[in-house]
Amino acid sequence: MIESDNKLISISKQLKLLALNTSSFYYRGRKRSESIHDKELKDEICKMYEEQASGYRVMHGRLQLEGYTVGEKVVRRLMKTLKLVGPYPKRNLSKRNSEHKTYPYLLRNLPITHIDQVWATDITYINMEKGTAYLLAIIDLYSRKILSWRISNTMSTEFCIEALEEALEIYGPPEIFNTDQGSQFTSDKFTRILLDKDIKISMDGKGRALDNIFIERLWRTIKYDFIFPNDIRTMINLKKGISWFIDYYNRKRPHLSLNKRTPDAIYFQGYWELLSS
Protein backbone atom coordinates (compact mmCIF):
# COMPACT_ATOMS: atom_id res chain seq x y z
CA MET A 1 0.00 0.00 0.00
CA ILE A 2 2.86 2.40 0.83
CA GLU A 3 5.25 2.89 -2.09
CA SER A 4 8.67 3.60 -0.62
CA ASP A 5 10.19 4.11 -4.08
CA ASN A 6 7.59 6.67 -5.23
CA LYS A 7 9.56 9.80 -6.24
CA LEU A 8 6.46 12.00 -6.68
CA ILE A 9 4.81 11.50 -3.29
CA SER A 10 6.90 11.14 -0.13
CA ILE A 11 6.23 8.38 2.40
CA SER A 12 5.03 10.90 5.00
CA LYS A 13 2.53 12.39 2.53
CA GLN A 14 1.28 8.93 1.56
CA LEU A 15 0.76 8.16 5.25
CA LYS A 16 -1.11 11.44 5.75
CA LEU A 17 -3.38 10.76 2.78
CA LEU A 18 -4.17 7.28 4.13
CA ALA A 19 -4.59 8.58 7.70
CA LEU A 20 -1.83 6.29 8.98
CA ASN A 21 0.44 7.01 11.94
CA THR A 22 3.98 7.81 10.81
CA SER A 23 5.78 6.47 13.88
CA SER A 24 3.98 3.11 13.82
CA PHE A 25 4.89 2.63 10.15
CA TYR A 26 8.59 3.20 10.78
CA TYR A 27 8.47 1.06 13.93
CA ARG A 28 6.98 -1.88 12.00
CA GLY A 29 9.53 -1.44 9.21
CA ARG A 30 12.35 -1.33 11.73
CA LYS A 31 11.10 -4.48 13.47
CA ARG A 32 10.87 -6.23 10.12
CA SER A 33 14.47 -5.38 9.21
CA GLU A 34 15.68 -6.33 12.67
CA SER A 35 13.99 -9.70 12.26
CA ILE A 36 15.88 -10.34 9.02
CA HIS A 37 19.10 -9.15 10.67
CA ASP A 38 18.49 -11.42 13.69
CA LYS A 39 18.04 -14.44 11.42
CA GLU A 40 21.32 -13.70 9.65
CA LEU A 41 23.08 -13.28 13.00
CA LYS A 42 21.60 -16.52 14.34
CA ASP A 43 22.85 -18.43 11.30
CA GLU A 44 26.34 -16.96 11.71
CA ILE A 45 26.37 -17.62 15.48
CA CYS A 46 25.39 -21.25 14.92
CA LYS A 47 28.09 -21.63 12.28
CA MET A 48 30.74 -20.14 14.57
CA TYR A 49 29.54 -22.18 17.52
CA GLU A 50 29.89 -25.40 15.51
CA GLU A 51 33.48 -24.40 14.73
CA GLN A 52 34.25 -23.53 18.37
CA ALA A 53 31.93 -23.25 21.38
CA SER A 54 32.14 -19.73 22.85
CA GLY A 55 30.37 -17.63 25.45
CA TYR A 56 28.43 -14.54 24.34
CA ARG A 57 31.33 -12.12 25.04
CA VAL A 58 33.79 -14.09 22.91
CA MET A 59 31.10 -14.66 20.28
CA HIS A 60 30.48 -10.90 20.17
CA GLY A 61 34.16 -10.31 19.44
CA ARG A 62 34.22 -13.00 16.77
CA LEU A 63 31.22 -11.43 15.03
CA GLN A 64 32.89 -8.01 15.09
CA LEU A 65 36.02 -9.48 13.51
CA GLU A 66 33.80 -10.79 10.70
CA GLY A 67 32.44 -7.28 10.12
CA TYR A 68 29.09 -7.53 11.93
CA THR A 69 27.86 -4.42 13.74
CA VAL A 70 26.02 -5.79 16.74
CA GLY A 71 25.86 -5.13 20.47
CA GLU A 72 26.97 -7.58 23.13
CA LYS A 73 23.47 -7.65 24.65
CA VAL A 74 21.97 -8.67 21.30
CA VAL A 75 24.44 -11.56 20.97
CA ARG A 76 23.60 -12.64 24.52
CA ARG A 77 19.85 -12.55 23.73
CA LEU A 78 20.24 -14.51 20.49
CA MET A 79 22.46 -17.15 22.08
CA LYS A 80 19.95 -17.53 24.91
CA THR A 81 17.20 -18.04 22.31
CA LEU A 82 19.37 -20.65 20.57
CA LYS A 83 20.21 -22.29 23.94
CA LEU A 84 23.92 -21.87 23.29
CA VAL A 85 26.24 -21.37 26.24
CA GLY A 86 29.99 -21.11 26.61
CA PRO A 87 32.30 -23.99 27.50
CA TYR A 88 31.60 -25.22 30.99
CA PRO A 89 33.68 -27.25 33.44
CA LYS A 90 32.29 -30.77 33.40
CA ARG A 91 32.40 -33.22 36.26
CA ASN A 92 35.72 -35.03 36.30
CA LEU A 93 34.95 -38.50 34.98
CA SER A 94 38.48 -39.09 33.68
CA LYS A 95 40.19 -40.42 36.78
CA ARG A 96 43.60 -41.66 35.78
CA ASN A 97 45.19 -44.86 37.05
CA SER A 98 48.90 -44.19 37.47
CA GLU A 99 49.67 -47.88 36.91
CA HIS A 100 48.12 -47.86 33.43
CA LYS A 101 50.10 -46.95 30.33
CA THR A 102 49.04 -43.74 28.56
CA TYR A 103 49.56 -42.80 24.90
CA PRO A 104 50.47 -39.53 23.13
CA TYR A 105 47.88 -37.24 21.56
CA LEU A 106 47.94 -37.83 17.79
CA LEU A 107 45.30 -35.39 16.51
CA ARG A 108 47.12 -32.07 16.89
CA ASN A 109 47.24 -30.40 13.44
CA LEU A 110 46.01 -33.63 11.83
CA PRO A 111 43.67 -33.00 8.85
CA ILE A 112 40.64 -35.31 9.12
CA THR A 113 39.82 -36.14 5.52
CA HIS A 114 37.80 -39.37 5.44
CA ILE A 115 35.59 -41.71 7.43
CA ASP A 116 37.13 -44.27 9.79
CA GLN A 117 40.29 -42.19 9.98
CA VAL A 118 39.64 -41.16 13.59
CA TRP A 119 37.09 -42.40 16.08
CA ALA A 120 36.67 -40.80 19.48
CA THR A 121 34.90 -41.73 22.69
CA ASP A 122 33.99 -40.11 25.98
CA ILE A 123 31.66 -40.49 28.95
CA THR A 124 29.21 -37.91 30.27
CA TYR A 125 26.88 -38.00 33.26
CA ILE A 126 23.12 -37.49 33.42
CA ASN A 127 21.48 -36.65 36.75
CA MET A 128 18.43 -38.80 37.41
CA GLU A 129 15.70 -38.62 40.05
CA LYS A 130 17.60 -41.33 41.90
CA GLY A 131 21.33 -41.44 41.26
CA THR A 132 23.39 -40.77 38.14
CA ALA A 133 23.50 -42.40 34.73
CA TYR A 134 26.65 -42.51 32.60
CA LEU A 135 26.44 -42.26 28.82
CA LEU A 136 29.28 -43.36 26.54
CA ALA A 137 29.36 -42.79 22.80
CA ILE A 138 31.81 -43.59 20.02
CA ILE A 139 31.78 -41.22 17.03
CA ASP A 140 33.49 -40.99 13.67
CA LEU A 141 35.10 -37.53 13.64
CA TYR A 142 34.84 -36.97 9.89
CA SER A 143 31.10 -37.60 9.61
CA ARG A 144 30.10 -36.96 13.26
CA LYS A 145 28.15 -40.23 13.10
CA ILE A 146 27.51 -41.95 16.44
CA LEU A 147 28.72 -45.49 15.82
CA SER A 148 27.71 -47.06 19.13
CA TRP A 149 26.69 -46.07 22.63
CA ARG A 150 25.94 -47.48 26.06
CA ILE A 151 24.30 -46.27 29.28
CA SER A 152 25.32 -47.57 32.70
CA ASN A 153 24.68 -46.70 36.34
CA THR A 154 28.35 -47.38 37.16
CA MET A 155 31.64 -46.18 35.70
CA SER A 156 32.81 -49.66 34.80
CA THR A 157 35.19 -50.67 32.02
CA GLU A 158 32.76 -53.33 30.81
CA PHE A 159 30.15 -51.01 29.27
CA CYS A 160 32.95 -49.14 27.45
CA ILE A 161 34.25 -52.42 26.02
CA GLU A 162 30.74 -53.44 24.93
CA ALA A 163 30.34 -50.25 22.91
CA LEU A 164 33.82 -50.60 21.38
CA GLU A 165 33.30 -54.21 20.33
CA GLU A 166 29.92 -53.37 18.79
CA ALA A 167 31.36 -50.48 16.75
CA LEU A 168 34.26 -52.62 15.52
CA GLU A 169 31.96 -55.49 14.59
CA ILE A 170 29.60 -53.29 12.57
CA TYR A 171 32.00 -50.79 10.96
CA GLY A 172 35.45 -52.39 11.08
CA PRO A 173 38.57 -50.78 12.59
CA PRO A 174 39.50 -47.08 12.33
CA GLU A 175 43.07 -45.87 11.84
CA ILE A 176 43.18 -43.92 15.13
CA PHE A 177 41.08 -44.19 18.28
CA ASN A 178 41.08 -41.13 20.57
CA THR A 179 40.10 -41.11 24.27
CA ASP A 180 40.89 -39.19 27.42
CA GLN A 181 43.13 -40.65 30.11
CA GLY A 182 40.31 -42.14 32.17
CA SER A 183 41.07 -45.50 33.76
CA GLN A 184 38.35 -47.21 31.70
CA PHE A 185 40.22 -46.32 28.49
CA THR A 186 43.78 -46.87 29.73
CA SER A 187 42.97 -50.30 31.14
CA ASP A 188 44.73 -53.24 29.52
CA LYS A 189 41.37 -54.83 28.65
CA PHE A 190 40.35 -51.80 26.58
CA THR A 191 43.66 -50.94 24.93
CA ARG A 192 44.41 -54.59 24.10
CA ILE A 193 41.34 -54.71 21.82
CA LEU A 194 42.69 -51.72 19.87
CA LEU A 195 46.28 -52.91 19.71
CA ASP A 196 45.26 -56.37 18.52
CA LYS A 197 43.60 -54.71 15.51
CA ASP A 198 46.61 -52.44 14.80
CA ILE A 199 44.62 -49.33 15.71
CA LYS A 200 46.74 -46.35 16.79
CA ILE A 201 45.78 -45.09 20.25
CA SER A 202 45.57 -41.35 20.90
CA MET A 203 44.85 -39.82 24.31
CA ASP A 204 43.96 -36.25 25.24
CA GLY A 205 46.45 -34.24 27.28
CA LYS A 206 45.83 -34.19 31.03
CA GLY A 207 43.28 -31.52 31.96
CA ARG A 208 42.57 -30.64 28.32
CA ALA A 209 38.88 -31.42 27.84
CA LEU A 210 38.75 -29.41 24.59
CA ASP A 211 41.18 -31.85 22.92
CA ASN A 212 38.07 -33.97 22.38
CA ILE A 213 35.97 -31.00 21.24
CA PHE A 214 33.82 -32.91 18.74
CA ILE A 215 32.38 -35.25 21.33
CA GLU A 216 32.02 -32.39 23.82
CA ARG A 217 29.72 -30.74 21.26
CA LEU A 218 27.78 -33.99 21.00
CA TRP A 219 27.16 -33.99 24.76
CA ARG A 220 25.96 -30.41 24.60
CA THR A 221 23.57 -31.25 21.76
CA ILE A 222 22.12 -34.29 23.55
CA LYS A 223 21.66 -32.41 26.82
CA TYR A 224 20.24 -29.17 25.45
CA ASP A 225 18.11 -30.69 22.68
CA PHE A 226 16.84 -33.74 24.54
CA ILE A 227 17.77 -34.27 28.21
CA PHE A 228 17.03 -30.82 29.64
CA PRO A 229 13.67 -30.24 27.84
CA ASN A 230 12.32 -33.64 28.97
CA ASP A 231 11.48 -34.93 32.42
CA ILE A 232 13.24 -38.30 32.34
CA ARG A 233 13.14 -40.10 35.67
CA THR A 234 13.91 -43.77 35.04
CA MET A 235 16.77 -45.62 33.39
CA ILE A 236 14.33 -47.44 31.09
CA ASN A 237 12.90 -44.18 29.76
CA LEU A 238 16.38 -42.69 29.46
CA LYS A 239 17.59 -45.59 27.30
CA LYS A 240 14.50 -45.39 25.09
CA GLY A 241 14.87 -41.65 24.72
CA ILE A 242 18.60 -41.73 23.97
CA SER A 243 18.04 -44.49 21.41
CA TRP A 244 15.43 -42.34 19.65
CA PHE A 245 17.57 -39.19 19.79
CA ILE A 246 20.72 -40.85 18.46
CA ASP A 247 18.76 -42.30 15.54
CA TYR A 248 17.38 -38.81 14.87
CA TYR A 249 20.87 -37.27 15.27
CA ASN A 250 22.44 -39.69 12.78
CA ARG A 251 19.70 -39.85 10.15
CA LYS A 252 17.62 -36.67 10.31
CA ARG A 253 19.44 -33.82 12.07
CA PRO A 254 21.35 -31.63 9.56
CA HIS A 255 24.68 -30.23 10.75
CA LEU A 256 25.90 -26.78 9.79
CA SER A 257 29.49 -28.04 9.80
CA LEU A 258 28.45 -30.74 7.29
CA ASN A 259 26.81 -28.25 4.92
CA LYS A 260 23.42 -29.11 6.44
CA ARG A 261 23.78 -32.81 5.70
CA THR A 262 23.32 -35.61 8.21
CA PRO A 263 26.10 -37.76 9.72
CA ASP A 264 24.66 -40.87 8.06
CA ALA A 265 24.66 -39.20 4.64
CA ILE A 266 28.31 -38.18 5.01
CA TYR A 267 29.43 -41.51 6.48
CA PHE A 268 27.80 -43.76 3.88
CA GLN A 269 28.88 -41.52 1.01
CA GLY A 270 32.43 -41.87 2.31
CA TYR A 271 31.93 -45.64 2.63
CA TRP A 272 30.97 -46.03 -1.04
CA GLU A 273 33.79 -43.73 -2.12
CA LEU A 274 36.29 -45.93 -0.27
CA LEU A 275 34.84 -49.05 -1.90
CA SER A 276 35.05 -47.58 -5.38
CA SER A 277 38.58 -46.19 -4.97
Sign of CA dihedral 134, 167, 228, 180: positive
Domains for the chain: give ranges and CATH numbers.
Answer: 11-81 (no CATH), 118-276 (3.30.420.10)
The pLDDT mean for the chain works out to 81
Going along 225-277, which residue ranges are E strands? none
For residues 125 and 63, what is the distance between their CA atoms, to the nearest angstrom? 33
Furthest-apart CA pair in the chain: how many Å? 86
Q: Please give the radius of gyration of the chain, using alpha carbons only, rounded to the nearest integer.
A: 24
Write out pLDDT tens, residues 150-181: 999 988 899 999 999 999 999 999 999 999 88
Q: What pLDDT is stored for residue 13 in this prediction?
A: 58
Give the relative orientation of helices 72-81 and 22-51 as an angle to the nearest 10 degrees.
70
pTM over 0.85: no
C-alpha closest to that of 189 among 266, 100, 96, 125? 100
Q: What pLDDT is stored for residue 96 in this prediction?
A: 62
Q: How many angstroms from the chain centroid is the CA of residue 30?
A: 34
For residues 143 and 71, what is the distance between their CA atoms, to the nearest angstrom? 35
For residues 251 and 148, what is the distance between their CA atoms, to the nearest angstrom? 14
